[in-house]
Chains A and B, each alone.
Chain A
Amino acid sequence: MSAAPQSGSAPTTNATSSDKNADPAKDTKPAAALEEDDEFEDFPVENWTQDDTEVPGDNTHLWEESWDDDDTSEDFSAQLKEELKKVEASKKR
Chain B
Amino acid sequence: MAILDGFLTSISGFLRTRDDLQLRLFLRVEPPLPEQFVQLSQELKASYRDGKVLERHLTKLIPENEDEYGEEGDVWPGFLAFMQEYLEFWRDVNFEDLLETHSQLSSLVNSCITALSHATHGIVMLPTAIQLSSNLAKLAMMLDKRPDLTRRLRQMADVDQGEGRKTLVEGTAESIQRAFTMCLTERSSNRSGVGQDGKPEGKKIGIYSFANMVLKLLFQCHKIGLANQLYTNISLHSPPLQLYPASQRVTYLYYLGRFLFANNHFYRAQLCLQSAYDQCHAQCVNQRRNILIYLISANMILGRFPSRAFMSRPESKGLLEKFAPISKAIRRGDMVAFKHAVGRESGNDKWFFQKGVLLPLVSHCEVLVWRSLARRVFLLTYQFPTDPNSRKAATLDIMDLLTAAQYCQKVLEGWQRPVDAAVAMQSGRTHINSIFMKFPDLVPPPTGPKRLGAQEGIIFGNKMPNILEIEAVIASLVQQNLLHGFISYNQGKFAILGAKQRGGPLNAGFPGVWEAVKTRAEREGKAEEIPGWVQEERTAPMGGVINLTGIARPVGGG
- Among B6, B9, B407, the one with the most A-chain Cβ atoms within 10 Å of its Cβ is B407
8 Å CB contact of B284 from A14, A24, A46: A24
A21 to chain B, nearest CB (A): 13
Q: Are B332 and A87 in contact (CB under 8 A)?
A: no
A84 to chain B, nearest CB (A): 6
Bitwise interface map of B from 322 to 365 toward A, beta carbon under 8 Å scored 1, else 0: 00000100111010110000000000000100100000000000
8 Å CB contact of B404 from A7, A16, A36, A83: A83
* A-B contacts besides A3-B39, A46-B246, A52-B281, 17 pairs, CB < 8 Å: A4-B9, A7-B25, A10-B34, A15-B131, A16-B130, A28-B283, A28-B285, A34-B286, A34-B289, A44-B284, A45-B247, A48-B247, A56-B312, A65-B304, A68-B506, A79-B407, A83-B407
8 Å CB contact of A3 from B26, B36, B216, B510: B36
Q: Which 6 A-B pairs have the closest CB atoms?
A: A43-B247, A31-B314, A47-B245, A63-B304, A25-B283, A58-B309
| Alpha-carbon distance between A37 and B293 when the two chains are bound, in angstroms | 12
Chain A residues numbered 24-60 whose CB sits less than 8 Å from any CB in chain B:
24-25, 28-32, 34, 36-48, 52-59
**Interface stretch (choices B91-99, B226-234, B376-384, B533-541):** B376-384
Q: Are A55 and B313 in contact (CB under 8 A)?
A: yes
Interface SS, A side: loop
| Alpha-carbon distance between A79 and B440 when the two chains are bound, in angstroms | 11
Query: Beyond A3-B6, A47-B245, A77-B332, is A30–B283 a contact (Cβ under 8 Å)?
Result: no
Q: Are B282 and A52 in contact (CB under 8 A)?
A: yes
B72 within 8 A of A: no
Hey, which chain A residues are within 8 Å of B522, CB to CB? none
Q: Are A15 and B281 in contact (CB under 8 A)?
A: no
Q: Are B286 and A28 in contact (CB under 8 A)?
A: yes
Chain B residues numbered 259-303 whose CB sits less than 8 Å from any CB in chain A:
278-287, 289-290, 299, 303
| Alpha-carbon distance between A31 and B311 when the two chains are bound, in angstroms | 13
Q: Are B334 and A76 in contact (CB under 8 A)?
A: yes
Q: Are B34 and A77 in contact (CB under 8 A)?
A: no
The size of the chain B interface, using a CB distance under 8 A, is 86
| Alpha-carbon distance between A64 and B303 when the two chains are bound, in angstroms | 9
| Alpha-carbon distance between A77 and B303 when the two chains are bound, in angstroms | 21
Q: Are B375 and A15 in contact (CB under 8 A)?
A: no
Chain A residues numbered 61-91 whose CB sits less than 8 Å from any CB in chain B:
61-70, 72, 74, 76-77, 79-84, 86-87
| Alpha-carbon distance between A72 and B375 when the two chains are bound, in angstroms | 11
8 Å CB contact of B312 from A11, A14, A28, A57: A57
Closest A residue to B212 by beta carbon equals A42
Hey, which chain B residues are within 8 Å of A13, CB to CB? 28, 30, 32
8 Å CB contact of B306 from A16, A43, A64: A64
| Alpha-carbon distance between A15 and B25 when the two chains are bound, in angstroms | 11
| Alpha-carbon distance between A66 and B506 when the two chains are bound, in angstroms | 13
Q: Are B287 and A30 in contact (CB under 8 A)?
A: no
| Alpha-carbon distance between A10 and B32 when the two chains are bound, in angstroms | 9
Q: Are A84 and B404 in contact (CB under 8 A)?
A: yes
| Alpha-carbon distance between A33 and B9 when the two chains are bound, in angstroms | 47
B127 within 8 A of A: yes
Hey, which chain A residues are within 8 Å of B317, CB to CB? 31-32, 34
A-B contact pairs, 19 of them (CB 8 A): A1-B10, A2-B6, A3-B7, A4-B9, A28-B284, A31-B314, A31-B317, A32-B317, A42-B251, A43-B281, A43-B284, A48-B281, A57-B313, A63-B299, A72-B379, A79-B407, A80-B407, A84-B381, A86-B438
Closest B residue to A36 by beta carbon equals B351
B76 within 8 A of A: no
- Among B22, B216, B281, the one with the most A-chain Cβ atoms within 10 Å of its Cβ is B281
Q: Are B354 and A37 in contact (CB under 8 A)?
A: yes
| Alpha-carbon distance between A13 and B377 when the two chains are bound, in angstroms | 61
Hey, which chain B residues are within 8 Å of A34, CB to CB? 285-286, 289, 317-318
Q: Are A53 and B376 in contact (CB under 8 A)?
A: no
| Alpha-carbon distance between A30 and B512 when the two chains are bound, in angstroms | 38
B310 within 8 A of A: yes
| Alpha-carbon distance between A11 and B313 when the two chains are bound, in angstroms | 33
B185 within 8 A of A: no
The size of the chain A interface, using a CB distance under 8 A, is 67
A54 to chain B, nearest CB (A): 6
Hey, which chain B residues are within 8 Å of A52, CB to CB? 281-283
A17 to chain B, nearest CB (A): 10
Q: Are A4 and B7 in contact (CB under 8 A)?
A: yes
B74 within 8 A of A: no
Chain B residues numbered 437-464 whose CB sits less than 8 Å from any CB in chain A:
438-439, 441-442
| Alpha-carbon distance between A59 and B434 when the two chains are bound, in angstroms | 46
| Alpha-carbon distance between A37 and B286 when the two chains are bound, in angstroms | 11
Query: Beyond A16-B131, A28-B284, A47-B246, is A53–B279 a contact (Cβ under 8 Å)?
Result: yes
Hey, which chain A residues are within 8 Å of B186, CB to CB? none
Q: Are A29 and B285 in contact (CB under 8 A)?
A: yes
Hey, which chain B residues are within 8 Å of A66, CB to CB? 512
B128 to chain A, nearest CB (A): 11
Hey, which chain A residues are within 8 Å of B306, CB to CB? 62-64
B76 to chain A, nearest CB (A): 22
Q: Are A84 and B285 in contact (CB under 8 A)?
A: no
B2 within 8 A of A: yes
Hey, which chain A residues are within 8 Å of B299, CB to CB? 63
B37 within 8 A of A: yes
Q: Are B307 and A61 in contact (CB under 8 A)?
A: yes
| Alpha-carbon distance between A6 and B10 when the two chains are bound, in angstroms | 10
Query: Beyond A5-B26, A5-B36, is A83–B403 a contact (Cβ under 8 Å)?
Result: yes
Q: Are A67 and B305 in contact (CB under 8 A)?
A: yes
Hey, which chain A residues are within 8 Å of B351, CB to CB? 36
| Alpha-carbon distance between A1 and B246 when the two chains are bound, in angstroms | 36
Hey, which chain A residues are within 8 Å of B289, CB to CB? 31, 34, 38
Bitwise interface map of B from 16 to 41 toward A, beta carbon under 8 Å scored 1, else 0: 00000010011010101110110100
8 Å CB contact of B332 from A39, A54, A76: A76
